[in-house]
Amino acid sequence: MMKSALRQRDVGRLRQIARLLPALALITVALQPHAEDPTRFNLGTPASTEDIAAQDIDVSPDGHGLPGGGATVAQGKIIYDQACASCHGSEGQGASAAALAGGNRVPPDELAADRTIVHDVGNYWPYATTLFDYIRRAMPFDSAGSLSDDEVYASTAYVLYLNGLLDADSSLDATSLSAIAMPAARYYREDRRVSGGDL
């Protein structure tokens, strides 16, 4: 009695497995590599040192990554008038694109609460070095990447001048740019969260 009950159950299992066999066979066939599959597809080319250097343009807040060279505020006015003023206004007051200067210097809670106050480089940006990074990678908006490093220094200098952060007769290079303390820097604090529950 006991024996035949067991047998019936075993037979049931075997039938179930038998029903699955065709599907298992198909999966096994699909996973077999095709004899004519290439081992390499030969797509793309290895990145050269120059290719990598052209992409590796990030500048840290402390100025790490800034290139050599530099420019004066006076040179910056020439670049700014040619390449930036059409969208940002002749004095950085904004036009089709955001204002870069002219905003009131108010505490951050006021700046956040009153959306009519212009957020610009002088009252909102924590690091001057980020301005160089941003202009080099993203501006002019319609031809990003077209400026030489000296032209980026020049336009950075002019935007800082428009914000009263550089004198008209001054110049800018990696050392002097890294040394500029932005008015809004004290309103930011370092985010030390790493991951998971911290966030």
What are the residues binding ligand HEC (CB under 6 A)? 83-84, 86-88, 97-98, 100, 121, 131, 134-135, 139-142, 155, 159
Q: Nearer to ligand HEC by C-beta: 60 or 82?
A: 82
Supply the minimum distance, in Å, between the C-beta of residue 87 and ligand HEC.
Answer: 3
Supply the minimum distance, in Å, between the C-beta of residue 114 and ligand HEC.
Answer: 17
Q: Nearer to ligand HEC by C-beta: 63 or 122?
A: 122
Residues 6+ apart with CB under 8 A from 159: 76, 80, 84, 92, 100, 101, 121, 131, 135
Helix 149-162 with 128-138: angle, nearest 10 deg: 130
Supply the minimum distance, in Å, between the C-beta of residue 88 and ligand HEC.
Answer: 5
Q: Nearer to ligand HEC by C-beta: 70 or 140?
A: 140
Supply the minimum distance, in Å, between the C-beta of residue 179 and ligand HEC.
Answer: 20
Q: Nearer to ligand HEC by C-beta: 27 or 188?
A: 188
Q: Nearer to ligand HEC by C-beta: 51 or 114?
A: 114
Supply the minimum distance, in Å, between the C-beta of residue 63 and ligand HEC.
Answer: 17
